[in-house]
Amino acid sequence: MELGMSRGGSLASLPEPHLASKRSRRGAGDGSTRVIDDPWDWNAWQALLGEVTSRPFAQGVADYERFLDIYPTYAKGWKLYAEHAARTSSESGREAVQDYTKAQAHQLDDSVKPVTIYERALVYCKTNVELWKSFLSYLKKYGSREAIMKAFDQAVSNCGLEPSSHGIWNDYISFISKGHGGRGPEDQVTRDLLRKVYQRAVKSPIQNLETFWREYEEFENKGSNPDFAKGILAELAPLNKSARAEFRSRKYRRDGLVLNSVAFPPRGKPKEEEQSKLWKKYILGEASNPHELEASELSKRVIYAHELSLVCLYRYPDAWIEASMYFKEIEKLEEAEDVLHRGINAVPTSPLLHFALVNLLELQSRKEEARTCFENLIQKSPSPLVYIEYMRFCRRAEGVAAARKVFARARKDQHSCTYQVFVAAARLEYHVNKLPKIARNIYELGETRFSRASFSPAPSRERIVWNSYCSA
């Protein structure tokens, strides 16, 4: 099972969350009507989901999809959707993940089959323990042993550092113990698999580590080589002890964090701003390496902390940028780029995310892709800042003529070309191209377009610069 990008999660066509209609705030009307009035009306969505779960599945698909397009990191919503699809699948008598009745095949495409819904969900909610449990439960009923083993491995890789993931670790061990390829727990292949999973579990900062350690000790001591058991247990005991300490201290580092908060865009609410600060504090705490972990283990903790934060801060551009910067810091440029693409999917009109992606692409001399990034942003959300940064990029990457073409294009955009664009173009000519006469011409052109009064509110340092242009 590969977790590819799913549809949904774009803000492109949604109003700002603070523009709630009076109807929505009063709670008037049914859920379906209220969410049309205000897509960010959380109470209305909860009422609508309550209705949808009791309908026939095919009648609820459109509402599930609308909800998850706005709240793609809300794991409970995905879980309701997938389990509803699974119930329908079971009631229709299907006994394999891929099978669908002809009656529904013409109504529902592959994207709403149970297993596909889970896969789509785990793109956005891969750290959510309850969602993984639901998916594994589904696979145990309908999937092959190979598919279940693969899903277990993905589950512990993605959420195995979560303190509450001990149940998944325990189920993984139990599933292997039932035999591999039809053989019993004493088979060497099975023992090797169990050893591998036990050793990962006892080093992870999860609940019930003492129980896992006792079981692992018993497992090794039952083997045919006492000396090997003694040596490997002595080697892993300090790591288990460290994991227990890490589990206890992480609980305090998370104090105050709301791990299952709904991912609204920034609304300026004090509690939301406080959560944003707490997430940054938590990530810095993990990065400080309080338990003196090796570099590879430390990076897993920090990446996991970022992924947890992005579930709650999905609509916050700075959260994506900080995650990308960490990947860049540990020299994982491919992952840094992937995070920025995910961020742009979440906040498609964010200039900051596009600028961060351009910088990363420029660092790798991928100039055409960087230019495409600017072009996409201008199509979605043109602004003075976008044109200014585009001019600067073109000057760096392609030279004087390319930057001037962007300035000429900006001047034709009546809505987005403000006096600041003229200021930036003139500064490029004056400071970078060393052409004060052209800089002065741009200033005069700006005065003609906006009148002198339009330039008077500019900061004093800009007026000084203009005076220097005029006297050049």
Res 70: pLDDT: 96
Question: What global pTM score does this model have?
Answer: 0.86
Min mean pLDDT across 27-31, 109-113, 123-127, 457-461 is at 457-461
Position 161 pLDDT exceeds 80 = yes
The residue type of 124 is Y
Q: 37, exposed or middle or buried, with CB in 10 Å at 0-12, 13-18, 19+?
A: middle
Cβ(71)–Cβ(262) below 8 Å: yes
Q: Which amino acid is at 193?
A: L
Q: What Cα–Cα distance (Å) separates residue 84 from each residue in 69, 109, 451, 456?
A: 18, 15, 63, 62
How do residues 405-451 score in pLDDT, each as one tens digit?
A: 999 999 999 999 999 999 999 999 999 999 999 999 998 899 888 87
pLDDT band of residue 32 (cuts 50, 70, 90) is confident
3-state class of 153 per DSSP?
Answer: helix
DSSP 8-class letter at 21: -
Residue with tokens 């998916």: 135
Mean pLDDT throughout 217-221? 95
> How confident is residue 456, by pLDDT bands cut at 50, 70 and 90?
low
pLDDT category of residue 7 using cuts at 50, 70 and 90: very low
> Is pLDDT at 22 greater than 60 in this prediction?
no
pLDDT in the model for residue 101: 35
CA dihedral 461, 467, 470, 472 (to 10 degrees): -90
At 36 the pLDDT is 83
Q: Which pLDDT score, from 0 to 100, does residue 111 have?
A: 73
CA distance 286 to 161: 12
- Averaged pLDDT for residues 11-17: 50
Cα-only R_g, the chain? 28
At 398, is the secondary structure helix, strand, or coil?
coil
Give yes or no for residue 17 having a pLDDT over 70. no
What is the dihedral sign for C-alpha 369, 373, 374, 380? Answer: positive
Least confident of 167-171, 243-247, 442-446: 442-446
> pLDDT band at residue 89, thresholds of 50, 70 and 90?
confident
Angstrom distance (rounded) from CA 143 to CA 149 = 10
Helix 419-427 and helix 384-397, axial crossing angle in degrees, nearest 10: 20
User: How many angstroms separate the CA atoms of 344 and 203, rounded?
Assistant: 35
Average pLDDT, rounded, for the chain: 87
Residue 413: what pLDDT? 95
The whole-number average pLDDT for the span 398-403 is: 98
Collapse the DSSP code of 20 into the 3-class scheme (helix H, G, I; strand E, B; otherwise coil) and give the result: coil
Q: Which two tokens stand for residue 259?
A: 């791990």
Q: pLDDT at position 173, please?
A: 97
pLDDT tens digits for range 287-334: 999 999 999 999 999 999 999 999 999 999 999 999 999 999 999 999
Instruction: Pull the structure tokens for residue 330.
Output: 């540990």
DSSP alpha helix (H) spans, 364-430: 367-380, 384-397, 400-411, 419-427
CA–CA gap between residue 71 and residue 12 (Å, rounded): 13
Q: What one-character DSSP code corresponds to residue 187? A: S
Rounded to the nearest 10 degrees, how much is the dihedral formed by the CA atoms of 53, 54, 57, 59? -100
pLDDT in tens, 61-84: 999 999 999 999 999 999 999 999
Confidence of residue 4 (pLDDT cuts 50, 70, 90): very low
Q: What is the mean pLDDT of residues 223-227?
A: 86
pLDDT at 457: 44
The CA angle 85-29-37, to the nearest 5 degrees, is: 80
Of the listed ranges 100-114, 204-218, 225-239, 272-286, the one predicted with least confidence:
100-114
* Helical spans, DSSP H, in 222-350: 226-253, 270-287, 295-312, 317-329, 333-346
